[in-house]
Amino acid sequence: MSTPTKDRPIGVPDIRARKGGQPLVCLTAYTAPIAKLLDPHVDLLLVGDSLAMVVYGMDSTLGVSLDMMIAHGKAVTRSARHACVVVDLPFGSYEESPEQAYRAAARVLAETGCAAVKLEGGVALALTIRFLAERNIPVLAHIGLTPQSVNAFGGFRVQGRGEEEAARVMADAKAIEEAGAFAVVIEGVPEPLGRAITEAIDIPTIGIGASPACDGQILVTDDMLGLFSDFTPKFVKRFASLGASVEQAVQSYAAEVTARRFPGPEHCFGTAKPKGAA
């Protein structure tokens, strides 16, 4: 667990300085109430485009718009006092050119107040990352299994298996480091490759289905809490089963409403107190 900073929130330089140190604790957040609950305990809150599936019931992240990311980014930054908040750039908002990426990223930072943006891609996006970094827009990169490329990958499949694929992912890591990313998320790669990348580059690696050797770990909060059960990736550990608790609570509520046991007198205005009440 991270130690809360009382005088200021964790910033990009703090994340960058954690290379090889105490592991970074990272989770996703999409709403103000969840951000407030997570904030004291984590180093980084990611407003991820995974909200497509978790919040909106989409099949992939491809349907998320920039306006959606900004709306959720605002909600999270309003409640975060400690953690570094990073917002995903959605599919189609940055791939066309560095200039397009700059316009999208500048709007996200200006309208949400977040600390940085995240984008997916390695060698192919190195020029864009450099363009942003040179214009004071901090970039968290994302390599390996990149969900916005699900169609090109032919589904959600592990990346970096075999020497050729592993060399490609390693090249991506080195390219984004050289371009100026302050850290990188490594998703869905064989453990030895996640470990090798962490040892090979000088910026923090944040693993999700990568390796315990990474400089930090991230999970989708709803997966970790057992709130999202449409599918469970191999790399997810459920630390709670809140979905079952919610369902049980709703069943109890429905039973009491149906039986007219709720609301009771204590929940109503202008009713007489029960006999014997103080």
pLDDT tens digits along 240-276: 889 999 999 999 999 999 999 999 999 999 876 666 6
DSSP category for residue 118: E
187 is annotated as an active-site residue: yes
215 is in an annotated binding site: no
Burial 35-47 (b: 16+ CB within 10 A, else e): beebbeebbbbbb
Question: What domains can be seen in the chain, in order of their start residue?
Answer: 12-240 (3.20.20.60)
pLDDT band at 4 (very low <50, low <70, confident <90, very high): very low
Please give the Cα distance from 12 to 184 (Å, whole number): 12
36 is in an annotated binding site: no
Average pLDDT value for residue range 193-213: 97
Pairing of strands 116-120, 139-144: parallel
88 is in an annotated binding site: yes
Residue 128 in tokens: 């864009």
pLDDT tens digits along 59-94: 999 999 999 999 999 999 999 999 999 999 999 999
Residue among 96, 134, 187, 191 flagged as catalytic: 187
pLDDT given at position 158: 87
Please give the Cα distance from 63 to 18 (Å, whole number): 34
